[in-house]
Amino acid sequence: MFKALEDAAAGTRTALAAALEQIPFNNEGLVPAIAQDMASREVLMLAWMNRDALERTLAEGYACYWSRSRQTLWRKGETSGHLQRLHELRLDCDGDAVLLLVEQTGPACHTNRPSCFYLLVEGNQVRVTSEPA
């Protein structure tokens, strides 16, 4: 199905159920999911989704991931309050990566930084680019 859509004109539609069936989840049943801030366009984090997390995210309108460390569904912000309200969910050409455009409440990172990507490579060093809260 993803292959068939490669040549499809803009505006072509297909059933979500068929797409979900054909997502090539990895051997742990996961795909990587990128969260991007819809206002600043900053990439906030990369996490993982299984089919259940993907369906809950769509059904509930808030990002839900699979926690690989805790081996459980992880409703982002459930304990911290740092919810990600879903604006848009996209799949890539192969169906093996997810992009979420979100409205982020509070910091996205567990270090209380706005984004998880605060380690910038500069020459032969890595520099921390934002303050932990």
Binding site for a copy of itself (CB under 8 A): 2, 5-17, 19, 32, 34, 36, 41-43, 45-46, 58, 88-95, 97, 99, 109-111, 113, 116-132
- From residue 106, alpha-carbon distances to 2, 21, 24, 74, 79 in Å are 35, 34, 32, 17, 13
- Kindly give, in sequence order, each residue whose CB lies less than 8 Å from that of residue 89, ignoring residues fewer than 6 positions away: 57, 58, 98, 99, 100, 101
CB of 14 to a copy of itself, least distance (A): 5
- Kindly give, in sequence order, each residue whose CB lies less than 8 Å from that of residue 95, ignoring residues fewer than 6 positions away: 1, 2, 19, 22, 23, 24
Q: Pick between residue 78 and residue 132 the one whose CB is nearest to a copy of itself.
A: 132
Q: Pick between residue 79 and residue 124 the one whose CB is nearest to a copy of itself.
A: 124
CB of 88 to a copy of itself, least distance (A): 6
CB of 21 to a copy of itself, least distance (A): 12
Q: Pick between residue 73 and residue 99 the one whose CB is nearest to a copy of itself.
A: 99
Q: Which two tokens stand for residue 82?
A: 């740092």
DSSP character at residue 108: S
Q: Pick between residue 26 and residue 78 the one whose CB is nearest to a copy of itself.
A: 26
CB of 75 to a copy of itself, least distance (A): 19
Q: How far apart are CA 59 and CA 83, in angstroms?
A: 15
